[in-house]
Structure 1
Amino acid sequence: MQLLVFVLAYPLLWLVSRLPYRLFYAFSDFIYLIVYRIAGYRTKVVRDNLKMALPDKSDEELKTIEKKFYRHLCDTFLEMVKTMGLSKEEVKKRYNVVNPNVVHELEKSKTILVVCSHYANWEWNVSINNYYSSKCYAVYQKISNKYFDNWVKKVRSKWNTTLITQKQVVPTVVKNHRDHIRGIFGMVSDQSPQKHLAHYWTEFMGIKVPVVNGAEIMARKMDLAVVFLKVSKVKRGYYNAEFIPITASGKQTEKNEITDTFLRLAEQQINERPEHYLWTHRRWKHRNSVPQEFL
């Protein structure tokens, strides 16, 4: 059944990836009508999240953000599909790293953790490998359909980025560290961890929740550099990526300093243009079960 679903879907994905941009975004508008207007995909989750995270916004403002978000969500998904047909030159034109020297300086002596949130086009973040000589890794979550999983890995590895799962991150960093190999590890760090695995609870968008702090634990233990990747949508299909240093030396930071700095940068990014954040995931689902020691 998994193979059948993939075989039926793949020709459409290939065709979409080859559409001229005018038709490509017209198709995205059509998908928006189906996803938002007809199916109402996760609208309750989105509305609840927006009300919680942006309490100062009026109902009218929240509705405007909601509509813009769904348009952007459809663009983001299809732009991942578009990667199938993108050349290195084209993606560098559409996804522009404005200050690559920040990482150039750090990679001379450090392994670097690049942390980001589900904001703007996180799918094209894998293209930063086009700017650097160090080996680049991207952390991803497996898809249950193994054929789509292989397809996604192939698409995201297009520019020689090596995809690894969450479980493979620490062993890979440790092995590279032992073999004196410097690398750049990109990871989306705003997920909601499983409650029983959470080591740190703090406020994100004013709501106390468990947060992922694996990047900080690795950085402090192995003295890694950490930078925040801030991606901004310039216009439809065009993005600027900016590296914001968090620390050049993980060992020189206090406990939770890296995680807290990441969260504040992510919040700032969201507040600037909230419609470009991924509001469909249940980021604040554990807000009502904060352990006593974190109250």
Structure 2
Amino acid sequence: MQLLVFILVYPLLWLISILPYRLFYGFSDFVFFWVYHVVGYRKKVVQHNLELVFPHKTPSEIKDIQKKFYHHMCDIFLEMVKTMSLSKEAVKKRYTVKNIEVLQEIEKDNSILVVCSHYANWEWNVSMNNYVESKGYAVYQKVSNSYFDRWIKKVRARWNTTLITKEETAKTVLLNYKNNVKGIFGMVSDQSPQRSRAHYWTEFMGVKVPVINGAETLARKMDLAVVFLKVSKIKRGYYSAEFIPITTGGRSTEKNEITDTFLRLAEQQIREKPEYYLWTHRRWKHKDKVPVEFQ
């Protein structure tokens, strides 16, 4: 069944990926109409999230952000499909890096964790590996369809990126350390963990929630550098990335310092242009279940 689904879906995805940009974004507008106006995909979730973290905004302001978000969401998910046929030259034109020298300087002495949020186009973040010497890794959620999973790994390999699961990350870092191989590990760190696995609760966008601190745990244990990747949307289909160092060595930081710094940087980014954050996630679903020790 997995093979059949892959055989049926893959040609359609490829066809979408090779569309000229005017048709490509015209198709995205068509998808937006169905997702937003007809299906109403998670509109209540998005509205609830926006009203929760922006309590002082008017209903009209919330609706404006919501509508802009859905336009952007359709764009980024189709841009993920576009990756199938996007060359290195094309992605360098559409995803520019302001200060790659930050990574280039740090990688001389240490492996790096690059942390980011679900903001702008996180899919094209892996293209930064075209500018550095260190081996590039991206921590991802394994796809249940094994054929699509292998295909995704093959696509990312074109951009000098190796995909690894979060369970493989620590082992890979340790193996690289033993073999004196420097690596750059990219991970999206703003997800909501399961309550049973949450070891730290703090405010995110003004609401106390459980947060993932896996990047900090790994950085402090292995003394890795940590850099925040801030991505801005310049215009439709064009993005600009900036690297903001958090620490050049995790062991020199205090407990929760890396996690808190990441969250503050992510918040600042979201507040600047909230329509480019992924509001469909139930990020604040545990807000009423804060353990006593974190209240």
* TM-score category, normalised to shorter length: over 0.9
**Percent pairwise identity:** 71
Residue 44 of structure 1: aligned partner: 44
TM-score with structure 1 length normalisation?
0.98
| Partner deviation per Cα, 1:79-132 (whole Å, 9 max, x = no partner) | 111111111111001000110000000000000000000000000011111001
What's the Cα RMSD here? 0.9
Residue 16 of structure 1: aligned partner: 16
Q: How many corresponding residue pairs?
A: 295
Deviation at 1:223, TM superposition (A): 1.1
Amino acid at match of 2:256: N
In structure 1, C-alpha distance between the alignment counterparts of 2:91 and 2:36, rounded to whole Å: 28
In structure 1, C-alpha distance between the alignment counterparts of 2:290 and 2:125, rounded to whole Å: 33
Moved more, 155-164 or 121-130: 155-164
Residue 175 of structure 1: aligned partner: 175
Deviation at 1:53, TM superposition (A): 1.4
The 3-state SS of whatever aligns with 1:24 is helix
Deviation at 1:150, TM superposition (A): 2.3
In structure 2, C-alpha distance between the alignment counterparts of 1:124 and 1:247, rounded to whole Å: 24
Amino acid at match of 2:101: N
Deviation at 1:282, TM superposition (A): 0.7
In structure 1, C-alpha distance between the alignment counterparts of 2:38 and 2:141, rounded to whole Å: 29
The 3-state SS of whatever aligns with 2:84 is helix
Deviation at 1:176, TM superposition (A): 1.0
The 3-state SS of whatever aligns with 2:99 is coil
Residue 280 of structure 2: aligned partner: 280
Residue 136 of structure 2: aligned partner: 136
Residue 214 of structure 1: aligned partner: 214
In structure 2, C-alpha distance between the alignment counterparts of 1:58 and 1:158, rounded to whole Å: 45
Deviation at 1:40, TM superposition (A): 0.6
In structure 2, C-alpha distance between the alignment counterparts of 1:146 and 1:203, rounded to whole Å: 37
Matches within 5 A, 1:19-98: 19-98=19-98
| Partner deviation per Cα, 1:256-284 (whole Å, 9 max, x = no partner) | 00000000000000000000000011111
Residue 153 of structure 2: aligned partner: 153
The answer to whether structure 1 residue 185 and structure 2 residue 185 are counterparts is yes
Residue 268 of structure 1: aligned partner: 268
Moved more, 136-145 or 117-126: 136-145
Moved more, 40-49 or 259-268: 40-49
Amino acid at match of 1:168: E
The 3-state SS of whatever aligns with 2:259 is helix
In structure 1, C-alpha distance between the alignment counterparts of 2:42 and 2:153, rounded to whole Å: 26
Amino acid at match of 1:23: L
In structure 2, C-alpha distance between the alignment counterparts of 1:152 and 1:73, rounded to whole Å: 20
The 3-state SS of whatever aligns with 2:190 is coil
Moved more, 226-235 or 145-154: 145-154
Moved more, 115-124 or 142-151: 142-151
| Partner deviation per Cα, 1:124-158 (whole Å, 9 max, x = no partner) | 01111100110000000012222222222222332
CA 1:9–1:101 in 2, change beyond 3 Å: closer, same or farther?
same
The 3-state SS of whatever aligns with 2:139 is strand
Moved more, 255-264 or 50-59: 50-59
In structure 2, C-alpha distance between the alignment counterparts of 1:87 and 1:116, rounded to whole Å: 23
Residue 105 of structure 1: aligned partner: 105
In structure 2, C-alpha distance between the alignment counterparts of 1:214 and 1:93, rounded to whole Å: 33
Amino acid at match of 1:87: S
In structure 1, C-alpha distance between the alignment counterparts of 2:53 and 2:224, rounded to whole Å: 31
Q: Which structure 1 segments of 5+ residues have no match?
A: none
Residue 242 of structure 1: aligned partner: 242
Deviation at 1:220, TM superposition (A): 1.1
Residue 119 of structure 2: aligned partner: 119
8 Å contact from structure 1 (residues 123, 156) kept in 2: no
Deviation at 1:288, TM superposition (A): 1.1
The answer to whether structure 1 residue 201 and structure 2 residue 201 are counterparts is yes
Q: Runs (4+) of structure 1 moved beyond 3 Å?
A: none
The 3-state SS of whatever aligns with 1:41 is coil
In structure 2, C-alpha distance between the alignment counterparts of 1:44 and 1:158, rounded to whole Å: 38
